[in-house]
Amino acid sequence: MADILMPKATAVWLVDNSSLTFEQVADFCGLHPLEVTGIADGEVARDIRGADPIGNGQLTREELEKAEKNPAYLMVAQKSRHAEMLKPAKKSGARYTPVSRRQDRPDAISWFLRNHPEVTDAQIASLLGTTKSTIDSVRTRAHWNSSAIKPVDPVTLGLVGQLELDEVVRKAADKKARDDARNGVGVEDGPTLKPASETAA
């Protein structure tokens, strides 16, 4: 299913403008049926203005009518043209860091090395717009300003956004988990107890 833009606002609109069941609305919007019940009762999303999923291209009129006729039918979302426009553009080439922020990069590199060793140098370089040699110099404390470097969250420094940072950390953690599973020593590979006949002897 495609991700719904503004799921609660969409649920508000569907509750107000259709005869769908709460389960159908919940499934389409990715919410819990109790949340939709709360929306209908006015306890949840009271101040949220409804967003028309037909108007913004996430749902067709035919799909809505089919679901209204059959309470067991679960609607399929369309790929919204608005969702496509809201996707972050793919960046190409090195990230540009304003001159005023460049002296903060070693602090951010230090933060990564200390808190997220699973993130590769290539990922750090790409995210912070730095070089692998700078990362190495911070790691080995060979950086010219080594004594003044302290680990600081790159989001706090304004070098990256929180969502971007979370995505890089998640990808690195997933890769590490896969590598560990592939290379890790399982129980059957580790040392086993010797048979009783050997230990008794």
Sign of the CA dihedral running 187, 189, 191, 194:
positive
For residue 147, the 8-state DSSP code is G
Please indicate, yes or no, whether residues 29 and 77 belong to a single structural domain of this protein.
yes
Number of residues written out for the chain: 201
Does residue 106 lie in a domain region?
yes
pTM of the full structure: 0.43
Same domain, 75 and 103: no
Calpha distance 50→13 (Å, rounded): 4
- Chunk the chain into consecutive blocks of 10 residues (it has 201) and report each block's average pLDDT, rounded to whole numbers: 76 91 91 90 81 86 91 83 52 53 83 92 89 92 89 87 89 87 60 52 49
User: What is the span of the domain harbouring residue 67?
Assistant: 7-86
Instruction: Report the SS3 class of residue 7.
Output: helix
Give how many domains the chain has, as a whole number: 2
